[in-house]
Structure 1
Amino acid sequence: MDDVIIIGGSFAGLAAALQLGRSRRKVTVLDTGLPRNRFAGHSHGLLGHDHKPPLEILAEARRQLARYPTVRLVNARADSVSGAIDNFSVFTGDGESLAARRLILSYGVADQMPDVPGFAKGWGTSIVPCPYCDGFEVADQHWGLVWSGPQSHNQVRLFHDWTDRLTVFADGHGIPPDIRADLAHRNTPVVEGRINEIAHNGGHTAVNLETGGNVAVDILFAHPRNKPSASLHESLSLATVDTPLGIALKVDERRETSLPGIYAAGDLANPGMPSVTLASSHGATAGISAQQSMLV
């Protein structure tokens, strides 16, 4: 029996495995090799790894984990989970049956691409969600923001730390008059009409509208809805919290979920800003919390 099974081996999962491996706890990490930020050319804001490709960072992390004999990395999907604290069972897509005293869920979320031609093609490169991840590299350029709801108003306020050239695309959303007045005060134009297509041409992004017009920007920020990459939390009946873009697992300060012995980290349990720094921090916290919960 393992001490801990970690389901999901991106930044959060591997950070948890590192802490547990250094504690000489027996750990199995199950991972499908499809991290959320695999579409991004570079990852930013992670101390010591700024401006490195995310897949390169993860590959190096796996190489470093190889020095810990109690950590096993397995390329497999967890198909089902059952049991309770000190006696969890995990069945993989390869037909393997595993047992552990604790579980850490870090299988992340998957962004749900809108049915707009060109959106998926540009995701992670010319269409991005996070100014902390990509804002510095495109500072002072012309930014576009696809309005997704009330939370977009705060994005407008936030973006002005990087650029004074911002265009909002309403994309069919009704923007209240008071917010429109504030956008006008900030010299932020609003383009009406639903987005019909997004074209990528020579470093610029052309947002084509159903009305027939188009607006060119240097970078487009958008926040599509997301959903957990697996449904294991549903079969376990874990508590969740609603966010403007989807759901997240509810955890306490130790990253423990509503079911004792199960911890969660990364975007799956972060209702705020997605970040490799936060994912790594939360993963390390989950690993340490799981280890300390097994002390006698």
Structure 2
Amino acid sequence: MNPSESHPPYDVIIVGGSYAGLSCAMQLGRARRRVLVIDAGQRRNRYASHSHGFLTQDGRAPGDIAADGKRQVLAYATVSWREGRARQAAQTADGFEIMLDDGSRVQAARLVLAGGVVDELPPVEGLRERWGASAFHCPYCHGYELGQGRIGVIASSALSMHHALMLPDWGTVTLFLNGAFEPDAAQLAELARRGSTLERRLVARIEGVAEVVLEDGSRHAMAGLFVAPRTHQASPLAEQLGCAIDEGPMGPVVRTDETKATSVAGVFCCGDAGRAAGNVAFAVADGAMAGVAAHRSLMFGVAQAA
């Protein structure tokens, strides 16, 4: 392909081909709209061996769910797929232009951002290697499989209180503060009420399946660990286009209204990039809403969030 080649315009370009992007493409494909999905192949849950909590797909490998979705979406003749990374976005007289990492450019009347977010884990030795296997961020996705065993929460900020107060419904909880914050009197009372144990000694590393080794050498064997990571947007396109971005509890979130419209007319955002917390079921629902809203805007005019 000639990098300078300019492709015919699409009705909608979807940047991100994971669950939200696929769900969006499904709605638009069924409306017989010309759709291009651009995907860099970096699903947020690619480290997890199993996905839970999504009706009819509970316990399946995340990659298998995504592969099935891609196959089903591409069965619609008006949906196309490009592997690659969208590097730049700009508004044009007729909509939007996206430049890919190979230098090629594509245009569409509408744009859907479904690029997701990237997790920033605290610098604890051994944690990254266990991410998605025995260290997680979503209790609803992974808590049940721990069998009501011992659960460790590795604090990353005061937001880890949320995990420490939620997780007793899934097991016996120890909150490892690791110098991230110090609970106040009210928080200490809440931890006691929920039966969560507090550990103030610093964490040295994680070993085995989920064994927390403290700096003094003491060890705490856990069935699993939970961390509330900081996140950042996986794609720069929302910022490039001037979309309003709010500071969420875990990181920047693209502002959208109930239809997933952003503050820039003609641009929609779905999935983890546009919500403070998410899972596969939320992403699929977001994508369906964005797809329907993008289609309606093609028929009846653009909308934008406040």
Residue 181 in structure 1 maps to residue 185 in structure 2 = no
Between stretches 92-101 and 30-39, larger displacement belongs to: 92-101
Q: CA deviation at 1:85?
A: 7.4
Residue 254 in structure 1 maps to residue 259 in structure 2 = yes
SS of equivalent to 2:45: helix
1:75 is matched with 83
| Residue identity (%) | 37
1:32 is matched with 40
2:298 is matched with 294
SS of equivalent to 2:46: helix
| Whole-angstrom distance in 2 between the partners of 1:166 and 1:198 | 17
Amino acid in structure 1 at the alignment position of 2:295: Q
Residue 263 in structure 1 maps to residue 268 in structure 2 = yes
SS of equivalent to 1:36: coil
Q: Select 1:282's aligned residue among 283, 286, 289.
A: 286
2:216 is matched with 211
Query: How do residues 15-26 of structure 1 correspond to structure 2 at under 5 angstroms?
Result: 15-26=23-34
For each residue in 1:209-260, what CA deviation from the matched residue of structure 2 results, as whole angstroms up to 9, or x when unmatched?
2233221111001111111112111111211111222111000011000100
Amino acid in structure 1 at the alignment position of 2:111: L
Tell me, which stretches of 5 or more residues in structure 1 are unaligned? none
Say if 1:20 and 1:287, in contact at 8 Å, map to a contact too: yes
Between stretches 77-86 and 279-288, larger displacement belongs to: 77-86
Amino acid in structure 1 at the alignment position of 2:78: T
Residue 98 in structure 1 maps to residue 106 in structure 2 = yes
1:225 is matched with 230
Q: CA deviation at 1:151?
A: 3.1
Q: CA deviation at 1:281?
A: 0.3
| Whole-angstrom distance in 2 between the partners of 1:178 and 1:148 | 19
1:168 is matched with 175
Say if 2:203 and 2:215, in contact at 8 Å, map to a contact too: yes
Query: How do residues 190-201 of structure 1 correspond to structure 2 at under 5 angstroms?
Result: 190-200=198-208
SS of equivalent to 1:241: strand
Say if 2:168 and 2:195, in contact at 8 Å, map to a contact too: no
TM-score, L = length of structure 2: 0.91
Q: Select 1:235's aligned residue among 232, 240, 243.
A: 240
SS of equivalent to 1:30: strand
Q: CA deviation at 1:155?
A: 2.5
SS of equivalent to 1:83: strand
| Whole-angstrom distance in 1 between the partners of 2:105 and 2:52 | 37
Say if 1:140 and 1:162, in contact at 8 Å, map to a contact too: yes
For each residue in 1:41-97, what CA deviation from the matched residue of structure 2 results, as whole angstroms up to 9, or x when unmatched?
011111111110010111111111222010001101111000157421111112211
Say if 1:251 and 1:264, in contact at 8 Å, map to a contact too: yes
SS of equivalent to 2:299: coil
Q: CA deviation at 1:196?
A: 1.7
Say if 1:127 and 1:222, in contact at 8 Å, map to a contact too: yes
Between stretches 80-89 and 138-147, larger displacement belongs to: 80-89
| Whole-angstrom distance in 2 between the partners of 1:287 and 1:18 | 8
Say if 2:163 and 2:228, in contact at 8 Å, map to a contact too: no
For each residue in 1:95-118, what CA deviation from the matched residue of structure 2 results, as whole angstroms up to 9, or x when unmatched?
211010000000000111322210
2:164 is matched with 156
Say if 1:84 and 1:261, in contact at 8 Å, map to a contact too: no
Q: CA deviation at 1:180?
A: 1.5
SS of equivalent to 2:27: helix
Say if 1:85 and 1:261, in contact at 8 Å, map to a contact too: no
Amino acid in structure 2 at the alignment position of 1:232: L
Say if 1:86 and 1:102, in contact at 8 Å, map to a contact too: no
Tell me, which stretches of 5 or more residues in structure 2 are unaligned? 1-8, 301-306
| Whole-angstrom distance in 2 between the partners of 1:137 and 1:32 | 30
| Whole-angstrom distance in 1 between the partners of 2:54 and 2:283 | 10
| Whole-angstrom distance in 1 between the partners of 2:294 and 2:10 | 12
Instruction: Describe the shift of the 1:219–1:181 C-alpha distance in structure 2 as closer, same or farther (beyond 3 A).
Output: same
| Whole-angstrom distance in 1 between the partners of 2:170 and 2:162 | 14
